[in-house]
Amino acid sequence: MEAENLAKLNQLWKKGTDFLGTEYAILGGAMSWLSESNLVSALSNAGGFGVIACGSMTPDLLSQVIIDTQAKTNKPFGVNLITMHPDIDALIDVTLAHNVKFVVLAGGIPTGDNIKRIKEGGAKVICFSPALILAKKLIRSGADALVVEGSEAGGHIGPVSTSVLAQEILPHIKDVPIFVAGGIGRGEVMASYMQMGASGCQLGTLFVCAEESIAHENFKKMFMRGNARDAITSVQIDPRFPVIPVRALKNAASVEFMAKQREVITKYQAGEVEMNDAQLEIEHYWAGALRRAVIDGDVENGSVMAGQSVGMVKKIQPVSEIIANLLDQASEQLAS
């Protein structure tokens, strides 16, 4: 990368790197089972910003993962907490007790009290915002930075694309750093979003096949074979039984899920089950499905969560190499 273009890039994401205390404003998306001490420390050590995915962890388990991560890096990293977790207060306490300086709140609108507790505990708060009106509300509530994530992302997603959200939010929010996420697989698009006013970008799918990722070999192989059209959202058959949209690679489980919904709805209509029980049966279909795929390697009966940028993942390589490629691509974009 030429020095002149590197200087341009450093200027573009200075607000993000100053905020994170990192060399590059590249955040790792928090992916359950994957974003643990190995991948998180590798991202931070390579100059990016790793984020532990707490997911459904207990406070004790989160504590151990933070300790493991701190043993592998002395660089900044964050912890992603799900706002609806029943032990959210204890998880916040654990994170602050280990002197983690960044908490990412996801999976719902965080309460003002939780934001205040985290900030009073000495950490910065990063929140997800799927709309401009919510972005403004979160900043008023004390959010120090925002992630704007579009529907191209993997896992649980909202309905609006990254490019539309970026246009809706970036021109109007200048007082806190904003990181754009969802469907980002190359450095050129990172540079473009930063030229629009983003302070950096968050990427998840691109790091799944990193050498340092603990994903099962079968999981990585499916990623490297996959393309954008294979990363589909879960289908809801009946509006009376809502299904939370999740983007994952199409497999036997995703096809079977539609059959399962039809079976349960038929039982409900025949009066064989109550509505609440029917809803629970549908929701429980995916219980443990992500672990089955990521850790056990059962990629046909598990959930292979992936963003639409999966088609750009073609080989296993170190995190440092993935980041170097992104920097080169962003540099070429700025040079042109």
- pLDDT, greater one: 308 or 108: 308
pLDDT digits (tens, 9 = 90+) for 61-91: 999 999 999 999 999 999 999 999 999 999 9
- Tally of structural domains, the chain: 2
Taking residues 304-333, report their average pLDDT: 97
Q: Are residues 123 and 239 in the same domain?
A: no
> Quick count: other Cβ atoms within 10 Å of Cβ 293?
27
Does 267 lie in the same domain as 170?
no
Same domain flag for 179 and 250: no
- Whether 175 and 295 map to the same domain: the answer is no
Please write the tens of the pLDDT for every residue from 118-176: 999 999 999 999 999 999 999 999 999 999 999 999 999 999 999 999 999 999 999 99
Confidence at 4, pLDDT banded by 50, 70, 90: confident
Residues whose CB is less than 8 angstroms from the CB of residue 236 and which lie 6 or more positions away in sequence, other chains included: 242, 243, 245, 261
Whether 219 is covered by a domain: the verdict is no
DSSP H or E stretch at residue 115: helix 112-120
Question: CA 111, CA 50: separation in Å to the nearest integer?
Answer: 24
205 and 235, same domain (yes or no): no
Amino acid at 304: V
Residues 122 and 208 in one domain: yes
Q: Are 92 and 18 contacting, i.e. CB atoms less than 8 angstroms apart?
A: no
Question: Is residue 222 in a domain?
Answer: no
* Strand pairing report for 155-156 and 246-249: antiparallel
The answer on 287 and 142 residing in a single domain is no
Q: Is residue 132 part of a domain?
A: yes
Structural domain includes residue 220 = no
- In which band, very low, low, confident or very high, does the pLDDT at 1 lie, cut at 50, 70 and 90? low
Whether 221 maps to a domain, the answer reads: no
Quick one: 283 and 144 in the same domain? no
Residue type, 2: E
Share of the chain above pLDDT 90, in %: 96
Q: 66 phi and psi, to 5 degrees?
A: -65, -45
Contact 155, 181 (CB under 8 A): no
Tokens of 197: 């006013």
Q: Is residue 137 part of a domain?
A: yes
- Domain holding 288, by residue range, is 227-305
258 with 125, same domain?
no
When pLDDT is averaged across residues 31-51 and rounded to a whole number, the result is: 98
Same domain, 190 and 169: yes
Residue 7 confidence (pLDDT) = 87
- 236 with 321, same domain: the answer is no
DSSP letters spanning 66-113: HHHHHHH--S-EEEEEETT-TTHHHHHHHHHHTT--EEEEESSPPPHH
The verdict on residue 210 lying in a domain is yes
Tell whether 138 and 158 lie within a shared domain: yes
Residues 193-246: tens digit of each pLDDT: 999 999 999 999 999 999 999 999 999 999 999 999 999 999 999 999 999 999
Whether 85 maps to a domain, the answer reads yes
The domain that holds 95 is classified in CATH as: 3.20.20.70
